[in-house]
Amino acid sequence: MKAKKVLNFIQENILDGIDDEIGIFWVVTTARPESELVDILFKTNLAMMMIRARGGLNPNEVLATFKDPNKARKYAENYLAKYKKTNK
């Protein structure tokens, strides 16, 4: 849980100030039975993805990446609804 707090702090306080050519993108990851939208959808950039990977994010857990936050949210909501329906 401590690692998640650190990542959230970095994301909230540093992420928006980092510039790179790829820029900000949105990631949707696999769900678990207790997952909510906030658990599977996050805004990031390449530097933060590298930190997340070192922190334990497995590439196989990444379902999709998006530049458009609305498309990412819609994808994540649809995925989560299907996941919860099939994993009751």
C-alpha 25 chain-centroid distance: 9
At residue 52, the pLDDT reads 87
Owning domain of residue 80: 2-86
Task: Return the CA Rg of the chain.
Answer: 13
Summarize pLDDT for 36-72 with one digit per residue, the tens: 999 999 999 888 888 888 888 999 999 999 999 999 9
Q: Taking 70 as the threshold, does the pLDDT of residue 24 lie above it?
A: yes
At residue 3, the pLDDT reads 63
Instruction: Determine the Cα–Cα distance for residues 69 and 85; give it in Å rounded to an integer.
Output: 24
Name the helix (H) or strand (E) containing 29: strand 25-29
At residue 15, the pLDDT reads 57
**Tally of domains in the chain:** 1
